[in-house]
Amino acid sequence: MQNLKQMSSQNKVGLAGGHRACAGCGFPQIIKMIYGQSPAPVVTTCATGCMEIATTIYPFTAWRGNFIHSAFENSAATISGIETAYQALKKQGRLPAEQEMNFVAIGGDGGTYDIGLQALSGAMERRHNILYICYNNEAYMNTGVQRSSATPQGGHTTTSPAGKVIPGKIQFPKDLTAIIAAHDVVYAGQASVGFHIDLMRKADQIFGKVGPKFLNVYTPCRLGWGSDPAQTMEIARLAVETCLWPIYEVVEGRWKLTRKIKEKKPITDFYKTQNRFRHLLKPENETLVKQIQEEVDRRWHDLLQRCGEGA
């Protein structure tokens, strides 16, 4: 059996080479950035989705540590049971008292914002000592690019197609991070794969805390977004710089902006990088783009107030 030091070393990588993620996909970088901050071995549960499909094609696996595939809706429930069993075994003396492990559940926005929300909410409310990571690519990419409640307003998907009837998705996305923060968790935050230092700093802080933690990480999908694979990190940064995806954290109820935007870029700068928004750049959709910009500005203003940053 491997000792804890060896297991920890393996988990610092998270994924081995040879996984089958698309070129330009951001989630392998997310795993490396986050897992590299864990001082202890990691047990991972993962909802059905792109990451599970790309890393665990039977009989192969790219995971270096302990990994369990869960159904679409119950990654948070699965990790809750594992963490509870671990605590029980330590109390019974069947695991060494000095042994430490971190418990991580992962899901895409479909398996987190929508299908898995009930399990996630339950795990947070019961205050399990876990970290839930949402790799947010703003649609159900693995099953054909259907809209989710994380899909931005105006975004073209196969179930919110831009055309004569509707100009893409009609609704503004759900603010899931604020919903989880309302559970009074020890940590809730948003990050972007385009700002790796911020992401790694947040992961380092998270693994030092006991209790329920949630991290919502912005992850461009070059396939579903119709973007250049080489521009993934630039697009992830643009989402932050346009304030479409602010990066911040809520630590034990205190809101803090972790990336201040001095010169906010217009949302059209972000739209120009992806085919899913090309219809919004047409003259007939100028009014809609203006309305979206106003909503982005309003939400950014509200976030600044919550973080004590003023107007």
Q: How confident is the model at residue 31 (pLDDT cuts 50, 70, 90)?
A: very high
- Residue range 229-237: average pLDDT? 97
Does residue 143 surpass a pLDDT of 90? yes
* SS3 state at 91: helix
What is the CB neighbour count within 10 angstroms for residue 236?
22
pLDDT at 241: 98
DSSP state of 111: I
From the number of C-beta atoms within 10 Å of its C-beta (0-12, 13-18, 19+), residue 63 rates as: buried
Q: Which residue has the tokens 């991972």?
A: 44
Q: Which residue has the tokens 């989402």?
A: 239
Element counts in the chain: helices (H) and strands (E): 12, 8
* Inter-residue contact 155 to 225 (CB < 8 Å): no
Residues 281, 287, 288: CA angle, nearest 5 degrees? 70
The CATH code of the domain at 4-306 is: 3.40.50.970
Does residue 301 surpass a pLDDT of 70? yes
Among 14-18, 75-79, 151-155, the minimum mean pLDDT is found in 14-18
Q: DSSP for 209-243?
A: --S-EEEEEE---HHHHT--GGGHHHHHHHHHHTT
pLDDT at 9: 44
Which of 206, 167, 202, 170 has its CA nearest to residue 186? Answer: 206
Q: Which residue has the tokens 């703003």?
A: 138
Q: Which residue has the tokens 């385009």?
A: 194
Which of 41, 61, 195, 46 has its CA nearest to residue 112? Answer: 46
Residues in the chain, total: 311
pLDDT at 7: 41
Q: How confident is the model at residue 8 (pLDDT cuts 50, 70, 90)?
A: very low
Q: How confident is the model at residue 311 (pLDDT cuts 50, 70, 90)?
A: low
Long-range Cβ contact pairs of 169-173 (< 8 A, separation 24 or more):
172/292, 172/295, 173/138, 173/149
Which of 84, 63, 159 has its CA nearest to residue 127? Answer: 84
Instruction: Compute the mean pLDDT over every residue in the chain, rounded to the nearest whole number.
Output: 94
pLDDT at 65: 87
Q: How far apart are CA 294 and CA 238, in angstroms?
A: 18
